[in-house]
Amino acid sequence: MSLKKQALSGFFWSLLQIVGTQGLSLVVSLILARLLLPAEFGLIAMLGIFIGLGTTLIGGGLTQSLIRSEAVDEEDYATVFYFNLVGSVLVYVLVFAIAPAIAVFYKQDLLTNVVRLYSLTFIINAFSAIQLTRLTKLLDFKTQLKVSIPSLLVGSTVGIIMAYKGYGVWSLVWSGIIQATASTIQIWFWAKWKPIRKFNLIKFKYHFSYGYKLMLSGLLDTVFTNAYLIIIGRYFAPAQVGYYSRADTLSILPVGIINTIITKVTFPLFSSIQNEEERLKTIYIKIMQMVIFLSAPVLVLMAALGEPLFRFLFTEKWLPAVPYFQILCFTAIMYPIHGYNLQILIVRGRSDLFLKLEILKKVMIALIILFSFQFGIYGLLYGGLILSVVGFFVNTHYSGKYLNYSAWQQTKDLLPIILLSVTVGSAIYFLDLFCSRSGIIDFARLCIGGIIGITSYIGLSYLFKISSLSELILIIKPK
């Protein structure tokens, strides 16, 4: 199969997988949001940093090394498999031991048992990490789809039933455990791979020498990505954590879907053409522009329609999250740009530069947080927005040199799309205010704003000859 056909096939099945799982997850979250309190979601959100740290420590960046390496054999896969498995047990023991300290930090006694139970997913997921890595390297997202949807259905069903029965936060805990277990069982059946009984120290050192820098970068990223949740969870009520977590989850949903679909395909794709500089640059530019063309208008329209959106989806009790959500939507616009710039460094084998940039950005985050914290939650949110913009110029420093595609050139290519999205979103915001004062119901407001916003965006994109629109038409136009 040619590279183009392989990429298109991977994109198609990745699209089905991500849209299916994210769509189902959204439906489940809507149901649970009606059955549970914001404070109960807040308790689970407080665990985000510890789950993230554990997951990063277990993988150690070795799975990414497997994907980018041009020649790997059964010994490579088996070696990383056994390392992940042993690492997961050690990490679980560590988290189990510090669980009481976590509960004391957040002043929530219940967290001790919640942390100890939920962290079992470390070990469960370690049994399937390499199978998933092999499938990703082969761009086999069809098999991953067969696994992810049933697993999510089983876990979600358990969570909804327990929430209905009044188990509160435990419904979220058991939902995660059951989903991870179902996924691991299925992946062993469908992936048709089992590790050989051999651990090759030389191969381990090879993958670790590349991966440990990504692991350190991942640890830093996890800490600072969850910094807001740590601060809000420590100094504010669990309900505030729940509001922030819900707003953050919904704001990154559209860009997360688009970005995850394309990233799962582009990382192995970029890796396969890492030595073809012009080709890599051309594909990179088209993909980045397309992602922003699709995600920016959605995020801006969601922000403009935040009030009717939250009340319609989650009911009145979640309305305090709307202002958080609107700020986070604008912050999320830059999210995929950061990822693709850093991805170039990874596929070129420069994990050292990746780590250097992550350290620099984390220093910046720490300084912004120290300054903005005195202004409360809104200070933190606006500080995050500023960081997102500054981070763009930091991330493009090295990747711009590798691709001969500077931050200024990227800005010139992306700014028209972002400005067009903001212009349309602003008009829809004022239109929605008029609809609200006219007594129009939330569902109708969402339909009016969404339809007018999307058609206006497409029409203006055609009028101003935005190249991504032409590219999109060529992709979806029947041959």
The C-alpha atoms of residue 44 and residue 169 are separated, in whole angstroms, by 7
Q: Does the pLDDT value for residue 7 go beyond 70?
A: no
Burial of residue 355, with CB atoms counted within 10 A of its CB: 0-12 exposed, 13-18 middle, 19 or more buried: buried
pLDDT in the model for residue 436: 93
- The mean pLDDT value for 190-195 works out to 84
pLDDT in the model for residue 264: 56
| Nearest in space to 233 (alpha carbons), one of 375, 102, 51, 321 | 102
pLDDT in the model for residue 440: 94
The C-alpha atoms of residue 257 and residue 259 are separated, in whole angstroms, by 6
pLDDT digits (tens, 9 = 90+) for 261-301: 666 555 555 555 555 566 667 777 777 888 889 889 999 99
Tokens of 152: 């999510």
Computed on alpha carbons and rounded to an integer, the radius of gyration of the chain in Å comes to 22
289 touches 467 (CB < 8 A)? yes
Within 10 A of 307 (CB to CB), how many other CB atoms are there?
18
Higher-pLDDT residue of 428 and 240 is 428
Within 10 A of 197 (CB to CB), how many other CB atoms are there?
7
Q: Does the pLDDT value for residue 434 go beyond 90?
A: yes
pLDDT digits (tens, 9 = 90+) for 292-315: 898 899 999 999 999 999 999 888
Lowest model confidence (mean pLDDT) among 188-202, 257-271, 423-437: 257-271
pLDDT digits (tens, 9 = 90+) for 88-141: 899 899 999 999 999 998 888 899 999 999 999 999 988 988 888 888 777 777
Instruction: Name the percent of the chain lying above pLDDT 90.
Output: 29
Q: Does the pLDDT value for residue 321 go beyond 90?
A: yes
pLDDT digits (tens, 9 = 90+) for 347-386: 666 667 777 777 787 788 888 888 888 888 888 899 889 8
Higher-pLDDT residue of 262 and 339 is 339
pLDDT in the model for residue 114: 93
pLDDT in the model for residue 442: 94
- The mean pLDDT value for 460-472 works out to 85
The C-alpha atoms of residue 16 and residue 10 are separated, in whole angstroms, by 10
The C-alpha atoms of residue 45 and residue 51 are separated, in whole angstroms, by 10
Looking at residue 228, its amino acid is Y
Lowest model confidence (mean pLDDT) among 4-8, 50-54, 246-250, 390-394: 4-8
pLDDT in the model for residue 8: 53
Instruction: Name the percent of the chain lying above pLDDT 70.
Output: 86
From residue 136, give the alpha-carbon distance in Å to each of 153, 369, 401, 466: 22, 36, 28, 32
pLDDT in the model for residue 458: 94
- Give me the phi and psi of 431, to 5 degrees please: -65, -40
Q: Does the pLDDT value for residue 403 go beyond 90?
A: no
pLDDT in the model for residue 10: 55
pLDDT in the model for residue 203: 86
The C-alpha atoms of residue 434 and residue 90 are separated, in whole angstroms, by 58
281 touches 310 (CB < 8 A)? no
- The mean pLDDT value for 52-64 works out to 74
Q: What is the mean pLDDT of the chain?
A: 83
